[in-house]
Chains A and B, each alone.
Chain A
Amino acid sequence: AQSVTQLDSHVSVSEGTPVLLRCNYSSSYSPSLFWYVQHPNKGLQLLLKYTSAATLVKGINGFEAEFKKSETSFHLTKPSAHMSDAAEYFCVVSDIDQAGTALIFGKGTTLSVSS
C-alpha cells in the first residue's frame, strides 16, 4: 500500500530565505512522486515530478526536490522564498507501473512567507 507523510503542517519563512518542505513516502512498487501547489481557492498546479529518471528534479518557480530511496524521502526545496510562494503544498505518490490508479495525497503543508 502506498502512503505519503508530510512532516510539517505549517512552515514559516522570511522572504529571501531557503524553503524546505519535507515528505516521506511508502510504496510497494517503484513510485512516481509529485509536488503540487495550491493557492487559495484555486486548483492544483504541478511543481515537479519524479518518475525514476534523475533523482534531483527541477521544477517551476525555482523549486526542486531530491528523491532519496534509502530515506524514502522526496523533500521540496527552494533557495530563496518569494512572497508569491505562500500557498498550500501537497506531496503525492503513485505507483509508476499502475497506470490509471489514483494519486495518494499527503495532508499538505502550508507555507507562509513574511517580508
Chain B
Amino acid sequence: GAVVSQHPSRVICKSGTSVKIECRSLDFQATTMFWYRQFPKKSLMLMATSNEGSKATYEQGVEKDKFLINHASLTLSTLTVTSAHPEDSSFYICSARDYKQVLNEQYFGPGTRLTVT
C-alpha cells in the first residue's frame, strides 16, 4: 500500500530557532500534499495545501511566513517552522495524494511531535 513517512518523528527545539519537518511519499508520486496540525485531544486542522512546483495555499489564519512549505519534488514536501515559540508546540501530520488515483484518497504520515521550550 501507499506509504508516507515523516522525519523527524519528534523534535525538541529552543524558542527562536527553526525546525524543518519532511514528508515523503515512499512508493507513489504525490502532486499534492497537505499539512495538518493537531492539538491535544483535538481534531486535525488543515494548515496548507502543497502542490509540487508551485506555492502552497494556506488556510485562513495560518501565517505563511512562519510556516514555510516547499514541495520541490513529487515525493517530498517540507514544513519549516520559523522562529518557533512554545505555542507552536503541536503534532504535525502530513498527507499525500497519489496523482494516479482519480479518487481523493489521501495517505497520512505518522506525524511529528514538536516541542518548543
A96 surroundings in chain B (CB, below 8 A): 103-104
Which of A36, A99, A106 has the most CB atoms of chain B within a 10 A radius of its CB? A99
Neighbouring B residues of A44 by C-beta, 8 Å: 44, 93, 108
Name the B residues within 8 Å of A108 (CB-CB).
42-43
Tell me whether A94 and B108 are in contact (CB under 8 A): no
Tell me whether B113 and A41 are in contact (CB under 8 A). Answer: yes
Number of A positions contacting B (CB below 8 A): 26
CB-based contact A102/B49 at 8 Å: yes
B: number of interface residues (CB 8 Å):
27
**Given known A-B contacts A32-B105, A49-B105, A95-B104, A42 and B44 have beta carbons under 8 A apart:** no
Could you tell me the distance in whole angstroms from the C-beta of A52 to the nearest C-beta in chain B? 9
Chain B, 82-117, CB within 8 A of any chain A CB: 91, 93, 95, 97, 101-111, 113
Closest B residue by C-beta to A31 = B104
Chain B: interface secondary structure? strand
Within 8 A of B (CB), among A69-102: 90, 94-96, 98-102
User: How many angstroms between the C-alpha atoms of A99 and B104 in the bound complex?
Assistant: 5
Interface residues in B28-47 (C-beta closer than 8 Å to A): 31-32, 34, 41-44, 46
Chain B residue numbers with a CB within 8 Å of A42 are: 110-111
**Does A22 make an interface contact (CB < 8 A)?**
no
B103 and A102 form a contact (CB under 8 A): no
> Most chain-A Cβ atoms within 10 A of its Cβ — which of B49, B103, B113?
B103
B95 in contact with A100 (CB, 8 Å): no
* Whole-angstrom distance between the Cβ of A9 and the nearest chain B Cβ: 10
Q: Which residues of B come within 8 Å of A, CB atoms?
A: 6, 31-32, 34, 41-44, 46, 49, 51, 91, 93, 95, 97, 101-111, 113
Which residues of A are at the interface with B, using a C-beta cutoff of 8 A?
32, 34, 36, 41-46, 49, 51, 90, 94-96, 98-103, 105-108, 110
Q: 18 A–B contact pairs at CB < 8 A?
A: A32-B103, A32-B104, A34-B105, A41-B91, A42-B110, A42-B111, A43-B6, A43-B108, A44-B108, A46-B105, A49-B105, A90-B43, A96-B104, A99-B97, A99-B103, A100-B31, A102-B49, A106-B43
